[in-house]
Amino acid sequence: MRGAALASAIALGAGSLSACFPVGPDFASPTSPEARHLTPERPASPGDGQRFAEGKDIPAEWWRLFKSPALDALVREALQNNPSLQSAEAAVRVAYFTAEAQKGGFFPQLLFNSNDSTNLQSNNRSLSSINQVIFNQLYPSPANVLYNAPSVNTQNPPTANYALLLKQFTVSYTPDIWGQNLRAVESLVAQTEEQRWQVEAAQLALTSNVVVAAIQEASIRGQIEATKNILTILRESLDILNRQYSFGSIAKADVIAQEAALAQAEQTLPPLEKQLALQRNLLTALAGRLSFEGPGESFELSHFALPATVPVSVPSQLVAQRPDIRAAEANLHSATAAVGVAVANRLPNLTLSGNLGASAFKVAELFTPGTGLYMAAANVTQPIFDGMTLLNKQKAAEAQLQQADARYRETVINAFQNVTDALRALQSDAKAVTTARKAEDAAKRNLDIVRMQMKYGQVSQIAVLYAQRAYLLASLSLVQAEATRLSDTAGLFMALGGGWWNREPEVARAH
């Protein structure tokens, strides 16, 4: 009956003190910008087959807008096998279970303790002393201090040999009066949320890196192809000059000049081939493969379609869509709750505890009348002087909150800059592609005319060399301009958040 009364008293006390008065600041999400456009004026569409659509949504698998099946397959493989993304997903589980563990502080803690001993008492102690020892072990003090019999004296044969069985339950509960545990859980849950947004950011970065790397490979292949085309032209021109020299129509210097131009053009090919090999290695790593496996897919610029319509978010949508902004907001939330933990640590703390059990010499006697024992205690602590430790920890938490707030604002500023840079880049890219196309076409027509004139000896070798070099540079510039435009389009999708909010609900991963 006494044990039942003890358990009821502890439960009643825990319930009556379960009211929580959380201290510290309450978190409020930062307000979103109210501007209508991401730039001072409405962003003008780039033109040349591409336009901006303000307010239009981004598809979850935005890379499909490039209409490359090989790219789609590589992105899927990277999302499935890339270890960096898997590491970020594991970090979410770490944060989640850490928060779940902290929630245990809301409940009483119950422990079972079994302490059985065999005791030998030497004959140099009086019988009354032995009885006292037995009494102390059967009925311990509230502090639960058991008398430990001294070791056996081998020079004096034992006169008392007895076993002592002690079984008891220990319950303790710390009421969360000031919301210390509530704020701690709030902080850890916010950290879990931050890790989830870090996963989204990692996935967005991975898909963007795969797309840009594939476009870069296509660019290098295009430059190699343009270089090989000009090498073919240079060799044909050299053959013509050699025939003309054999007829005595031109000087040997003209032939040597053409040979030098051919050699210079050939020197540009090995560095491009090296870049292609390194780019292939990058794609292999992004796909989560080992270097000897290779990426499997190969890419050329003709395999990509330029997305004609590019969605552009309004400022309020951008803040909600960018994973890095959401992660910074979750970090701000965690820092806000941490201030409450620091404040609660400076306030009085109450702990309720109790023991309930039985002690006897035999197992059959454990539950007989007179063998029970119990203890109930309440402990109140209040820091009086700690060398300003807790105060300084509170000030440190407040400074971390200020730091988190500054980082949030910095992240928002950087996000808007990223989008604006991408918009300006696409506007410039459209002009660059247009002019590069015109330059390449003019250089090709000029080279065709000069080569025709060269056959009949109507132009100098200097004019031929100039036309060849101009065509080579124009061809390379066109390839690079087209690749840059594709890459900057992918960069804009990344800057806008990547469309994760339109993703189909995934099957929950097993924790």
Domain ranges of the chain: 2-22+66-105+178-303+317-347+382-501, 108-175+348-381
Helix or strand run (H / E) with residue 52:
strand 51-54
What does the DSSP assignment read for 324-378?
A: HHHHHHHHHHHHHHHHHHHHHTTS-EEEEEEEEEEEESSGGGTTSTT-EEEEEEE
The answer to whether residues 144 and 374 touch, using CB atoms and an 8 Å cutoff, is no
Q: Residue 63 gets which letter from DSSP?
A: G
Residue with tokens 């994973």: 323
Class of 108-175+348-381 in CATH = mainly beta
Q: Which tens digit of pLDDT belongs to each residue from 208-232? A: 999 999 999 999 999 999 999 989 9
Q: Which tens digit of pLDDT belongs to each residue from 482-503? A: 999 999 999 999 999 998 998 8
Q: Which tens digit of pLDDT belongs to each residue from 322-378? A: 999 999 999 999 999 999 999 999 999 999 999 888 888 888 777 788 888 888 899
Assessment of whether the complete model's pTM goes beyond 0.75: yes
The whole-angstrom separation of Cα 238 and Cα 112 is 95
466: exposed, middle or buried (Cβ count in 10 Å: 0-12, 13-18, 19+): middle
pLDDT at 184: 94
Q: Which tens digit of pLDDT belongs to each residue from 28-83? A: 999 888 777 777 778 888 888 899 988 888 999 999 999 999 999 999 999 999 99
Q: What homologous superfamily is domain 2-22+66-105+178-303+317-347+382-501 in, according to CATH?
A: Outer membrane efflux proteins (OEP) (1.20.1600.10)
pLDDT at 145: 41
